[in-house]
Structure 1
Amino acid sequence: MQRALSFNSSPDISVPLRLLLGAPVFVLLAALLLLWTGPSAMVSRWTAPTLAITHLFTLGALASAMAGAMMQILPVATGINVLAPRSTSAGVHGLLSLGTLILAAGFLSDRAGLFPLAAVLLGGALLWLALACAGGLWQYRKQTTKGASEILVAVRFAMVALAVTAAIGVGLAAAWAGWLPLSRHMTNLHAGWGLLGWVGILLVGMAYQVIPIFQVTELYPKFITRWLAPAIFVLLTAFTVNLFAGSSIQWEIGRAIAVLLLAACLLFATVTFQLLWTRKRPQADTTTLFWRTSMISLAACAPVWLLQISGHGDFTVTLGVLFIVGFAWSAINGMMYKIIPFLLWYHLQKDLTIALRVVPKVKQIIPDTTAAKQFWPHLLALLLLVAASLRPMLLTHAAALALAVSALWLLWNIAGALRLFRRAKLEIGEALATATAPWK
């Protein structure tokens, strides 16, 4: 991993921004749906409201934000651009957003005809993203920057995991449409490849870059950056093969693989938390708080999973909350407070040939004191969601309300940054006009 980034390789600001901005909107939609449906969405992972809310989060929020972050980080960190970044960003964003809404509507209305349409739209979005990334990795392979191999390995494995997730998802959509039998094994594989493969491996790869740079920590140990992403991918592959192998010790092998996957997640959480705790800036900023919350949530999946397999109850909803909201969304929410202000600042000043005082500093675009206020409703929402997964009747509505407040607060902070960006552009234009005006 290299600390120096090539910002001149940044794509047009619209490429990552439209995908990043859509993420909190879908979190808000998920929160409002949870508020509307109430405790039935927290009782079981198999209910229609639960499936709708889960996919609003995983597809509408996580996939969108991660695609945007990847399309920004890849060129500046590795020298690799996705093919046709503007059209890829617009196409993936449109298909992904519409497909997610139709899929959620299909779950809620139980209209079989909506699932094939959602599968076409979502399959098209994810295939477009995968092909654009694969084409970029091939076309720009000779100009890869030094030290970029670790993040590229993670991206390659994550894109394959995304393709597997999408393929299984299309098959499950056909099952919901009544064309194929619905298999819980395939549903479990879909969740495993989507959450641990696509989301997990890609977040791991991005952490290799953004944690040392933006959090001013030491680099990740070499054995982590070299082997963790491949190990997770190999273990997911082994778990999939074992599921269809029909061995007499299939259950034991599956549990052993699951324990190894859990150990890999715990290792990443522990190392990342240790890097954050010993960072060179002792005062934790808002993004540090979000990352610490993310790692604690990932680590908390271990005891909850052990409770799940011990037969003391069904804790799958709790696991989903910890991984999706606690681990993945916490990390993405925190990264937005670094990526969006930097994007706006960079595109304000990148073409200037003279220094202008009207250009705001990065820290002024979303001040840390402003961002910190949104962390607390996010943390409250996470704690209430975990509690609601155990006591749905008592706490579901409170959890949904807190999540909605957190999403709205994030949107408000981002909107403030965009207003500042537009105002600064006007002031820069006026300052340049004044500086270049001929003397009369």
Structure 2
Amino acid sequence: MQSNSITTTYAPPFKIVAKYFIAAIIDFVILNFLLMLNYKDITGFYFQPKILAITHLLTLGWISMTIFGAMFQLVPVVLETKLFSEKLADIQFWIFLLGMIGFVTGFWNSDTGLHLNASAVLLNIAVLIFAVNMVGTFIHVKKWNITGWYLISALIYLIITAIAGFLLAYNLWHPYISINHLQYLKLHAEVAVIGWVTMVVMGVSYKLIPMFTLSHGYSMKSSKWAFWLVNIGLVGINIFFHFENNIIEILGSTLFIAAGIAFFLFQVYLIYKNRLRKKRDIGIKYSIFSFYMLGIVTLFGLIFSFIDLSGIPNIYLVFGYLVLYGYLSMLIVGQMYKIVPFLAWYHKYSSKVGLEPVPMLKDMFNEKYALVSYYLMTTAIIATTASFIFNSRIALLFSFGLMFFGSLIFTFNILTILRK
């Protein structure tokens, strides 16, 4: 029988997960500060040193760090087996952190030589350690579920993403790729965001959303359709990319991915519809906004595939920002507001229940502050999109400032939880 909690006897010590989450949150604040400080440089074509640096700080330091921590916590719980090695999780953290810092500073300083490539090697070593840890955990699983299959797929895409990232970095140092570098960069981004990150989001959502909303009595058929459609689409794009005259095949693969995401969103709707907990707390508010944004960016991506929108100012930056902030960052913040309070409470107070007064979960952070942060972040996302489209630098500075202050409030709340 599957656990209805995010912590069981299978879960690793909280300090392992906390380390990844704290690093991710610090990165989130830093990247928002950098956006605000360098707003004049965040415009035009996306293949620029500072934009590439901030993008990788976001995808590696904020998003991937969070996912690593979440997977170390959730994989043992969801699949009912101990983590293969807590020591490897600790070693991976430091190697990944060092590689991420080197990779980001390499792009920032336009140093695409040894600095960038050595950092890419470190990142690949960290991913290899993570893969060994996950495979070592997976082989002891006795009963698989749909979440497990999503996580296996995500792990495969992560490995592909890391290797491709190194090969692209090496191409900047010693060019060897005959096809346009930017075409491979686009493929790299698609595999990273859809294959690695979104497959984790999908799989974990089937566990977390029912738990947090107390949902029961719904069909899971749509989750299986989503799994196969997204994977078929991703494999198709990666294969047909290397063929000539591949427009129809690429469009077909894109439609498969979009259909898979639509099935996923329908599955989320079914779970949410059958909830017993009707109140929308702050974590759910963030998550709902994120899933709406996922639908919007999926539709956006489809339109991109069929219509040339390059004439719209900063259109690639708009799309990237909506994916990385509107969809992924809002989802991460929302889920952290659900996961971190429970883990911190369980770690500090579960053994004291009945022996002495302990705080309630709702007392672990200030929900009014969290709501202010929610409105700051949602306003920032809308305002940033408009600022890019109308090419207004002053508005962009204001929008980045809103997100920065929203991230500070979020960080204050998480630190409050950890210090309780």
Shared fold, TM over 0.5: yes
Residues 277 and 404 of structure 1: is their aligned pair in 2 closer, same or farther, counting only changes over 3 Å?
Answer: farther
Residues 23 and 183 of structure 1: is their aligned pair in 2 closer, same or farther, counting only changes over 3 Å?
Answer: same
- Whether contact under 8 Å (1:381, 1:403) holds in the other structure is yes
Identical positions, percent: 22
Correspondent of 1:202 among 181, 189, 200: 200
Aligned-pair CA distance for 1:266: 2.7
Aligned-pair CA distance for 1:51: 1.1
Aligned-pair CA distance for 1:367: 4.5
Task: Measure, in 1, the Cα distance between the counterparts of 2:104 and 2:48.
Answer: 12
Report what 2:258 is aligned to.
262
Aligned-pair CA distance for 1:179: 4.8
Report what 1:68 is aligned to.
69
Which amino acid in 1 is paired with 2:66? A
Correspondent of 2:307 among 303, 306, 310: 310
- Between Structure 1 and Structure 2, whose CA radius of gyration is higher? 1
SS of 2:81's equivalent in the other structure is coil
Report what 2:363 is aligned to.
364
Task: Measure, in 2, the Cα distance between the counterparts of 1:403 and 1:125.
Answer: 30
Encode CA deviations 1:123-148: one digit per residue, 9 max, x unaligned: 1111111111011111x223x4xxx5
Aligned-pair CA distance for 1:39: 3.7
- Whether contact under 8 Å (1:208, 1:220) holds in the other structure is no
Task: Measure, in 2, the Cα distance between the counterparts of 1:61 and 1:316.
Answer: 21
Which amino acid in 2 is paired with 1:416? T
The two structures, once aligned, show a CA RMSD in angstroms of: 2.1
Correspondent of 1:233 among 209, 231, 234: 231
Aligned-pair CA distance for 1:398: 1.5
Aligned-pair CA distance for 1:233: 1.9
- Whether contact under 8 Å (2:213, 2:272) holds in the other structure is yes
The 10-residue stretch of structure 1 (124-133 or 374-383) with the greater mean CA deviation from structure 2: 374-383
TM-score (norm 2): 0.92
1:170 pairs with 2:169: no
- Whether contact under 8 Å (1:3, 1:212) holds in the other structure is no
Which amino acid in 1 is paired with 2:239? V
Encode CA deviations 1:154-190: one digit per residue, 9 max, x unaligned: 1100000101101101101111223534622221111
Residues 370 and 34 of structure 1: is their aligned pair in 2 closer, same or farther, counting only changes over 3 Å?
Answer: closer
Report what 1:335 is aligned to.
335
1:191 pairs with 2:189: yes
For residues 15-164 of structure 1, the aligned pairs below 5 Å read: 15-85=16-86, 87-111=87-111, 112-138=113-139, 140-142=140-142, 144=143, 148-164=144-160
Which amino acid in 2 is paired with 1:243? F
Task: Measure, in 2, the Cα distance between the counterparts of 1:219 and 1:21.
Answer: 36
Aligned-pair CA distance for 1:274: 5.3
Report what 2:294 is aligned to.
298
Aligned-pair CA distance for 1:311: 1.5
Which amino acid in 2 is paired with 1:136? T
Residues 161 and 403 of structure 1: is their aligned pair in 2 closer, same or farther, counting only changes over 3 Å?
Answer: same
Encode CA deviations 1:205-245: one digit per residue, 9 max, x unaligned: 00000000012234663222333223312211111100113
Task: Measure, in 1, the Cα distance between the counterparts of 2:75 and 2:109.
Answer: 39
Task: Measure, in 1, the Cα distance between the counterparts of 2:56 and 2:205.
Answer: 24
Aligned-pair CA distance for 1:44: 2.5
Aligned-pair CA distance for 1:276: 3.2
Report what 1:423 is aligned to.
none
Task: Measure, in 2, the Cα distance between the counterparts of 1:173 and 1:189.
Answer: 14
SS of 2:9's equivalent in the other structure is helix
Note the residue ranges of structure 1 that are not aligned, 5 or more in a row: 421-440
The 10-residue stretch of structure 1 (59-68 or 304-313) with the greater mean CA deviation from structure 2: 304-313
Report what 2:11 is aligned to.
10
Residues 318 and 265 of structure 1: is their aligned pair in 2 closer, same or farther, counting only changes over 3 Å?
Answer: farther
Task: Measure, in 2, the Cα distance between the counterparts of 1:278 and 1:379.
Answer: 27
Runs of 4 or more, structure 1, over 4 Å off, are none
Which amino acid in 2 is paired with 1:132? N
Residues 77 and 219 of structure 1: is their aligned pair in 2 closer, same or farther, counting only changes over 3 Å?
Answer: farther
Encode CA deviations 1:333-369: one digit per residue, 9 max, x unaligned: 11111111111111123445x6233322222212433
SS of 2:392's equivalent in the other structure is helix
The 10-residue stretch of structure 1 (378-387 or 200-209) with the greater mean CA deviation from structure 2: 378-387
Encode CA deviations 1:31-65: one digit per residue, 9 max, x unaligned: 12212221432322222222111111111000000
Encode CA deviations 1:81-105: one digit per residue, 9 max, x unaligned: 33212x2332222222222221121
1:388 pairs with 2:384: no
Report what 2:213 is aligned to.
215
Which amino acid in 2 is paired with 1:216? L
- Whether contact under 8 Å (2:372, 2:406) holds in the other structure is no
Task: Measure, in 1, the Cα distance between the counterparts of 2:154 and 2:226.
Answer: 12
1:397 pairs with 2:394: no
- Whether contact under 8 Å (2:95, 2:125) holds in the other structure is yes
- Whether contact under 8 Å (1:15, 1:89) holds in the other structure is yes
- Whether contact under 8 Å (1:273, 1:292) holds in the other structure is no
For residues 265-284 of structure 1, the aligned pairs below 5 Å read: 265-273=261-269, 275-276=271-272, 279-284=275-280
Q: Alignment length, in residue pairs?
A: 411
- Whether contact under 8 Å (1:115, 1:176) holds in the other structure is no
- Whether contact under 8 Å (2:376, 2:405) holds in the other structure is yes
Report what 1:347 is aligned to.
347
Task: Measure, in 2, the Cα distance between the counterparts of 1:118 and 1:310.
Answer: 37
Task: Measure, in 1, the Cα distance between the counterparts of 2:217 and 2:124.
Answer: 36
Residues 220 and 66 of structure 1: is their aligned pair in 2 closer, same or farther, counting only changes over 3 Å?
Answer: farther
Which amino acid in 2 is paired with 1:297? M
Task: Measure, in 2, the Cα distance between the counterparts of 1:114 and 1:66.
Answer: 26
Which amino acid in 2 is paired with 1:20? F
Report what 1:180 is aligned to.
176
